[in-house]
Amino acid sequence: MTLESFDDWNLRSARLLHTDVRGTEYDPVDVEAAASIAKDELGIQGPEKKGFAIPLFASDRPVPTNEYVVYRPENRSIGWYDSGFGINGSERFTDCERLNDTEIGHRLRFWLDEYREIELDVDESDLPAERVNPTDRLSSDDQSAFFRELKDFVRSEQNAQRDRNWERYEEIELEEAIRRKRVSGPYIHFGSTVEDGEQAYKYQFAQDEDENDDVDLRDDEGIFPGNRCILDVESDDSNFPIEVEVLSVTDPQITILPVRDSVKNHQVVEKILDGNDTEIWVHELLNPVPFERRLDAIDQVNTNEEKRDLLTGHRPVTYSVNKYAPPDPGIDLNKYQRLALIWADGADDLVCIHGPPGTGKTRTLTAYVAHAVSRNESVLLTAHSNQAVDNLLVGDSTLDDPEEGTLHAIAQDEDSDLTIARVGNNSRNRVVQNYYMAQSPGRADIVAATTSGAAQFAQNAFDVAVVDEATQASRPATAIVLNSAEKLVLAGDHKQLPPYCADESQKEEDLHISLFEYLLERYGRNISVLLQKQYRMNEAIAEFPNEMFYDGELKTAIQNRRWSVSDLKPFIGVDIAGQERRQNYGNSYYNRDEAEAVAKQVQLLTYNGVAAEDIGVISAYSGQVSEIINRVNNLDIDNPRDVTIDTVDSFQGGEREAIIVSFVRSNDDGYSGFLEFPDEGPRRLNVALTRARKRLVVIGNWDTLGTIAPHRSPGQSCANLYESLADHLRSQERMLSKK
C-alpha cells in the first residue's frame, strides 16, 4: 500500500462512515496509531475543521473506499455516524481504544506497518489466469464413449490383475508359496453350509501352539469377505488349485464358496473339501471392491453436470486470487511453494501442483491443508496407497517426536485445535494408529483415506480434496475423490512413473494415464504451478534430469549444491560389457558382471563413511535384485543387509545418501526391453536418477542402452536418451570404462 492509492481520493465525494460498532468483533487493532499515521501522511482536515479525515479501506483489502472517520488527536477520539444510536442515528465521538476490536479498527488496520506488506510479493504474471478454457471438448457421442471406455478399462484391469496373480502363484506352486509365506493357512475343515443353493465350506485357521495372540484374519492374513482367493491342498490332485469366493470372515473361521468355472471335477473337489482331514491353504487372487468402487464413481461423475463437463472439456477452470489477502499457513515456505499455495487457495474447482523430486511437495500440501482448515473448510486428504497417505499425514514422526512441518506436528501443538481422522483399517503406521484411527470422520477437520477408501463418502461431502502422488493413481481411482469434493487439488510429478497398469495391452494407451496428466492435456499448463527449487540432490546429480525432464526450470538450493561423499565425485557412470542372462522362470534378467560392479561400489561407499542404511541400489529387473542381494550380503562391511536393494518402482518417493543403478541389459543388438519404451523408459530413468542426495553411480552397457533395437523405429524408442546421458558423463570425464 502506498500513498498513490489516495491520489484520486476526495473528501467532498466521500461520506462519514455509517456503522453500528456493537456488531461483529474483530481482532484488535491499535486504532490511535493507525489514525495518527494517516493524519501525518495525508493531513486531510475534516469538515468544519472538527479534526482530521481518516480514509477507510475495504474490510478485506487495502483498497480505499469513499468513506472516512474523523480523528481528534488532542483527545484521542474517533468520530463516525453511529447507525445503532437512537432511532435515526447520530454523529458520535469515542475513545480510540474502545474501537480497537470494531469495524472501524478493522478498516483502519492497513495504515499500520504490519499490514502494509500484505499484498502478494509475487509477479502478477506468475498468478493463475481467472479463466482457463479447455483446448478441445468432446461431442455428445464422444462423451458417452469416454465414460464407457473408462469402465471397460476398469474391467480389463480387474481381469488382468486376476490373471497375473494366478500366473504368479502357479510359477512358485504351493510348497514354495508356504516357504515364502505367500499363503495363509493351514485351515482345517469345520463344517459345510448352503448359500443361495450352492455348497459352501467352513474352515478354521490352524494356529501354532506357541502363538498366544488372537488371530486377525483380516489384518494379519489379508483375508476379507468378498475376496476371490486361490485355494490349494498339499496333494498331487490335478483338480487343484481352484478359485473360491470368501463369503464371511469370523476370526478364526472363514466360509468359502468354490467358483464353479474354476472346478474341473465337482464331485472330487467336493469330497476333498468336505473331508475332515483336509487342510487347505489360501492365497489372495483378487479383491473386487476397489474395482467396483471405481465403476460406481465413474457413473456418479457422469451424472453430475459440473464434474462431467470438467472431464469432457465443456467448461473452463477458474481461479479467484485475492492478491491483498494471501494465505498465511504458519509454515515456512520458499517463494515457489508460497506461489503454489496461492494457486491452490485461489482455485475455484481444480489445480495441479507439479512437484519434481525434492521440491517440498508434501510440505506445500501440509501448508495448504492447514490454511483450508483455518478457513473452516472440510478437507479430504488422499493418496493411492496407505503408505502415501500416512507419509503425508505424519511423515517420519515417531510416537515421541512429531516431525516438524507435518499435519501431525500441527495437530499435537498445544495451541492447536486441529482434528484429524484416518479411515480404513490398513494403516501400519504406529503414530497414525495411536492418534487418528479411532477419531470420528464426522467430527474431524481433516479426513485421511486412500483414493479407494474415499468411496464411503457422499458426493461433494467435502469442500476440498487433496490428492498426493496423484500421478500414480489412475483416472478411475481418482474419480472416487473427484466425486467426493467440490474442489480438487492434485499434486504429483507426471515425469515420474505413471499409474500401475495390470493390463499390459493398455500400457501404451491413454486410458491408463492419471487424472493429473489427462487434465493437463485437456486444459494445458495454465492449470498447473511448478515447484522449482529442489533440496534433495547435489547440483551435478540434478543437472541432467533437470535439462531432460524439467526444461531446465529447476533450481538447486544453495545448501546442497556441493554435497558429496568424502572426495568421491557426485555423479559417475560405469561402462561395462557384462553378459545378460534370463532366469529359468519368469521374464526377468540378471547380469553377474554388473552385480559384482555394484558390490564394489557399495564397498567403496562404506569405506568412505557411508552407513549401509544410507545406500540404495536400484535395478531395472527383479532378477538382478536377487543377484545383487547375494553379492552385497557377502561383503565384509558393517550391516550389509541394511543396504536397500530393489526395483525402480519400489524406489519412487524414496531417497538415500548414495544410489547405485544397474541397468542389466547387455547385448549386441540394442535390445533393452521396457527400458527402451518411449513413455515408460524416460520416466523410469528419471526416477532412478533422482533418488540420490550426494553420490550417484549408473552402471550399464551404454552401447546396448543407446542403440535402437532392430524391431523399433526412432519414434518407438528412447535409446537416444541413454545416449545423451552417456555423452553427458563422458564430456565431463565421469564415465569409467570396463570394456
Pairwise CA distance, residues 568 & 433, whole Å: 42
pLDDT in tens, 283-306: 999 999 999 999 999 999 999 999
pLDDT in tens, 683-723: 999 999 999 999 999 999 999 999 999 999 999 999 999 99
pLDDT in tens, 335-359: 899 999 999 999 999 999 999 999 9
Q: Exposed, middle or buried by CB within 10 Å (0-12, 13-18, 19+), for 5?
A: middle
For 269, phi and psi rounded to 5 degrees?
Answer: -65, -45
Q: Is 123 helix (H, G, I), strand (E, B) or coil?
A: coil
**Closest by Cα among 739, 409, 723 to 544:** 723
Q: Provide the whole-model pTM.
A: 0.82
Torsion of Cα atoms, 23 then 26 then 32 then 35, to 10° = -90
Q: Indicate left, alpha or beta for 520 from its phi (over 0: left) and psi (-120 to 50: alpha).
A: alpha
Strand spans (E) along 444-531: 446-450, 462-467, 485-492, 528-530
| Residue 32 confidence (pLDDT) above 70 | yes
| Residue 1 confidence (pLDDT) above 50 | no
C-alpha grid cell, residue 649: 518402482
Pairwise CA distance, residues 283 & 735, whole Å: 47
Residue whose C-alpha cell reads 499457513 in the numeric block: 329
pLDDT in tens, 529-574: 999 999 999 999 999 999 999 999 999 988 777 788 999 999 999 9
Q: How confident is the model at residue 278 (pLDDT cuts 50, 70, 90)?
A: confident
Q: Is 542 helix (H, G, I), strand (E, B) or coil?
A: helix
The answer to whether the CB of 227 falls within 8 A of the CB of 246 is: yes
pLDDT in tens, 208-223: 665 666 778 887 888 8
Q: What one-letter code names the amino acid at 37? A: I
* Angle subtended at Cα 593 by Cα 590 and Cα 595, rounded to the nearest 5 degrees: 60
| Residue 115 confidence (pLDDT) above 90 | no
Q: Which residues, other chains included, contact 427 with Cβ-Cβ below 8 Å and sequence gap of 6+?
A: 386, 389, 390, 433, 437
Length of the chain, please?
Answer: 739
